[in-house]
């Protein structure tokens, strides 16, 4: 019982508005720092680092990638993808077992104190999906109606999360192509200036640096970010499945022990799959 209460308190602290600042996603930050550091070490090794600086190449790769992505997606989709990437830096720590312990303990409290305690929990939580479910339950909505509303909310939020993943994947696909376009432009300039030896070097530099920018942007930022957002989307889907099952059990005033066993089967099934 003490362990269950500890898990519930940990979950509640992680979802309470204004208690503590969100935890920084250290693995993401460390990964980005190492990636950028390796590229900088390579640029500094055995040569002039300014050789790798090209405003034209950077503008072509990033600007072209953004413009191509804007053709495929709406400005709203791109804005949501940028906000999702910013939010992933500050994810509150949450484990499925914490969510399960919280819901089981909440079920016990509802049994002992009545459903009105859910109103207080709804005010405390920073999780909008959980808050919606608690509000619906405390309002006395039928379990079927709660399930219908929450499942619709799940579909909407999941679709938006996966669209953000696709935006970052698309940018990862476009960036190397934009680098290749920069290479072709640089080669054309170089061939057109063969009679001027002083112009050959800058043209060749643009050709090679643009390809480098496209590869670095795609493989060290765009694709890793899309992969991170994909993992987060899967984790949140799983958390919402657990939350939905728990809230429906609470609305039906089912036995907390039965609820705990059913929710634990979610984790077991995922671990074995």
pTM of the entire structure?
A: 0.78
Closest Cα partner for 226 from 174, 162, 155?
162
Query: Do residues 223 and 165 lie in contact, with contact meaning Cβ atoms separated by under 8 Å?
Result: no
| Count of all residues that appear for the chain in the document | 273
The two three-digit tokens of residue 178, written as one number:
């934009």
Tell me the domain boundaries of the chain. Answer: 2-24+52-272
pLDDT at 75: 94
Query: Do residues 157 and 133 lie in contact, with contact meaning Cβ atoms separated by under 8 Å?
Result: no
pLDDT at 41: 66
pLDDT at 159: 94
pLDDT at 166: 97
pLDDT at 212: 87
**pLDDT tens readout for residues 85-137:** 988 877 665 678 889 999 999 999 998 988 889 998 999 888 899 999 999 99
pLDDT at 16: 43
CB 222: neighbour CB atoms within 10 A? 24
pLDDT at 14: 42
pLDDT at 19: 40
Tens-digit pLDDT profile for the chain (273 aa)? 444 444 444 444 444 433 444 455 666 677 777 777 766 666 566 566 666 777 888 899 999 999 999 999 999 999 999 999 988 877 665 678 889 999 999 999 998 988 889 998 999 888 899 999 999 999 988 999 999 999 999 999 999 999 999 999 999 999 999 999 988 887 887 777 667 666 666 667 677 888 889 998 999 889 999 998 998 899 899 999 999 999 999 999 999 999 998 898 877 766 555
Q: 230-248: string of b/e by CB count within 10 Å (b at 16+)? A: bebbeebeebbebbbbbbb
pLDDT at 163: 95
């Amino acid at each position: 019982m003490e362990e269950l209460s500890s898990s519930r308190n940990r979950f509640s602290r992680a979802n309470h508005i204004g208690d503590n600042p969100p935890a920084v996603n250290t693995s993401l930050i460390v990964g980005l720092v190492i990636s950028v550091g390796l590229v900088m070490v390579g640029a500094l090794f055995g040569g002039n680092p300014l050789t790798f600086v090209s405003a034209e190449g950077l503008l072509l790769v990033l600007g072209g990638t953004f413009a191509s992505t804007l053709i495929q997606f709406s400005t709203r989709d791109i804005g949501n993808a940028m906000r999702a990437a910013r939010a992933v830096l500050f994810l509150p720590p949450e484990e499925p077992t914490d969510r399960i312990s919280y819901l089981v303990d909440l079920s016990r409290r509802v049994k002992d104190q009545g459903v009105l305690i859910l109103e207080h929990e709804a005010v405390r939580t920073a999780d909008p999906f959980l808050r919606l479910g608690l509000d619906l339950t405390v309002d006395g909505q039928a379990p079927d109606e709660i399930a219908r509303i929450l499942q619709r909310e799940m579909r909407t939020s999941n679709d938006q999360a996966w669209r953000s993943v696709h935006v970052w994947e698309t940018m990862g696909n476009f960036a190397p192509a934009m680098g290749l376009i920069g290479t072709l432009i640089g080669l054309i300039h170089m061939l057109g200036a063969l009679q001027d030896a002083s112009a050959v070097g800058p043209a060749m530099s643009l050709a090679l640096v643009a390809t480098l920018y496209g590869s670095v942007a795609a493989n060290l930022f765009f694709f890793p970010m899309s992969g991170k957002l994909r993992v987060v989307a899967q984790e949140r889907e799983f958390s919402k499945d657990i939350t939905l099952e728990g809230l429906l059990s609470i609305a039906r005033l089912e036995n907390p022990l039965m609820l705990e066993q059913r929710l634990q089967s979610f984790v077991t099934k995922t671990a074995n799959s």
